[in-house]
A and B are shown apart, each in its own frame.
Chain A
Amino acid sequence: MGLLSILRKLRSNPDKELRLLLLGLDNAGKTTILKSLASEDVTQVTPTQGFNIKSVQSEGFKLNVWDIGGARKIRPYWRNYFENTDVLIYVVDSADIKRLEETGQELSELLLEDKLRAVPLLVYANKQDLGQAVTAAEIAEGLGLHNIKDRDWQIQSCIATEGKGVKEGLEWACKSIKKK
């Protein structure tokens, strides 16, 4: 099963465009996830300055995925991309235990944003293949996801470099849109 079949399930919404916003700290793996979604080579990414955008299209259905750079200096610009977001995707480097607090801080600030109110949240617990990686459950705990009451949320463990778990996350994102 591929991205195609996920999209096929959504045939009931022809021509619908979705705006997915990918955020997270630098080196979380946002661009790798983006490339993996677009079935592109994931071995040659560079740190994102500014943003990347890819449209994954199928049967009149269009997912516009916005990947915004995560370096501290450009995080203030994240807010320029909030408008009309259908799903917020937040990527966490599960092996970067030192910055778990920092990433939690950034996420909780995002969840307070007016323009992102009630937008479903998908958290990718990326880099599960690394030895020091903590589990998705531990990340959920660390980020305080269980306290979120005002929106749908989901945590998905993944290994973006191998494409593992990425499409499952997207599947959830599409489902939660359909529910709305």
Chain B
Amino acid sequence: MIRYLWSLVCYFFRPWIKWFLRQTTQMCELQRICYGEPSGAPRALAIEDSLRHSRDATIKKLLIYLDDISDKCEITIETEQEVLQEVIKTVLLTKKINPVAHPDFAKSFGKCIELIWGYRQLCVECEELRKIPYDAENPEHEALLMKLWDSLNPDEILTSRVSKQWQHIGFQGDDPKTDFRGMGILGLSNLIYFAQEYSGTVKQVLLHSLHPRYGYPFAIVGINLTSMALRLLRDGSAKTHIYNSSKTLPTIRAFHHFYCCLFYAFDGFWMQSKPNNMMEFSSVQERFESNIRATLASPTTVFRLNVSVDNV
């Protein structure tokens, strides 16, 4: 109730406050954010909030256009500059900003647009990959699975396609094909990226997963972490990390990187929890997720992979 009243107050007074600030600072809200907030998540989140609250017809139309092209995944390296120039031009005109007097605004504002709608597009891309179920009849899928094996075990040859060896890397049985479930190709791609891009870290994590007392099924936990990463992406919690870590348009690589950071952090969390057995996974995972959410709530958060060697 109080929340509702507050939003009502905000709704009525926002234009007045904005008008007052505009008169005193000679700048519109977007400019004040671009100059006042540090780059990355603090700035992009504030710009996003400001644009979403705008009641200007041109801005509203602009947002519909941006939502539409990002939902269709049409923002690519080729089209990006053209889209950004168009958006910046519209905003400069609508907000009556003189580009000569404010040369930095366009650059800083464009960067925010790139992050905000790149993120939205990333959600769509991940969903598309998730919706592709693993299909053992598809040679491309099979090739990906083999790539996962080879990058995780460069020194060990898989004796046959259906083999007990899959359990060494934490699949449930002799054939991983049924283990991807609702995470589909996204789950598999996440694992491959982790194994290929961070071979040192992955070795260390895999070693932990084989720990005689605190071990866990590497691949299955990985697929559950894909689900968690996707949850955080969808509900917007991952924005802070993605906005802070992306130097260019966020693509699927940004999601893979986020996943790798989560996996690395989970591994540490699990080992530190010293669980009695695998049945504690649900509760440990829950605690881990609420920790991560708390960290992501801070606008300066950016996860990194610490490639330090420790001894177990």
Main secondary structure of the interface of A (DSSP, over half): loop
Contact of A73 among B217, B221, B280, B285 (CB under 8 A): B217
User: Does A148 belong to the interface (CB within 8 Å)?
Assistant: no
Q: How far is the CB of A94 from chain B (nearest CB, A)?
A: 14
CA–CA, A73 to B216, complex, Å? 10
What are 13 A-to-B residue pairs whose CB atoms are below 8 Å? A26-B173, A26-B179, A43-B182, A46-B181, A46-B226, A47-B181, A47-B220, A49-B281, A51-B279, A71-B173, A71-B220, A77-B278, A80-B279
Q: Which residues in A have some Cβ–Cβ distance to B below 8 Å?
A: 26-27, 43-47, 49-52, 69, 71-74, 77, 80
User: Does B311 belong to the interface (CB within 8 Å)?
Assistant: no
Q: How far is the CB of B180 from chain A (nearest CB, A)?
A: 9
Residue of B nearest to A81 (CB): B279
Chain A to chain B: the 7 pairs with minimum beta-carbon distance, closest first:
A50-B281, A49-B281, A50-B282, A44-B182, A71-B172, A27-B178, A26-B172
Q: A49-B278, A49-B285, A74-B279 are in contact. List 14 more A-B contacts (CB 8 A).
A: A26-B178, A26-B179, A27-B172, A44-B227, A46-B226, A47-B172, A47-B223, A50-B281, A52-B282, A69-B279, A71-B172, A71-B220, A72-B172, A74-B278
Contact of A72 among B173, B226, B285 (CB under 8 A): B173
CA–CA, A51 to B279, complex, Å? 7
Q: How far is the CB of A77 from chain B (nearest CB, A)?
A: 5
CA–CA, A49 to B280, complex, Å? 8
User: Does B45 belong to the interface (CB within 8 Å)?
Assistant: no
- A77 contact set on B, CB distance < 8 A: 277-279
Q: How far is the CB of A76 from chain B (nearest CB, A)?
A: 9
User: Looking at B187, B223, B278, which has the most chain A CB atoms within 10 Å of its CB?
Assistant: B278
CA–CA, A158 to B172, complex, Å? 24
Residue of B nearest to A74 (CB): B278
Contact with A along B174-192 (1 / 0, CB 8 A): 0000110111000100000
Verify A50–B172 contact, CB threshold 8 A: no
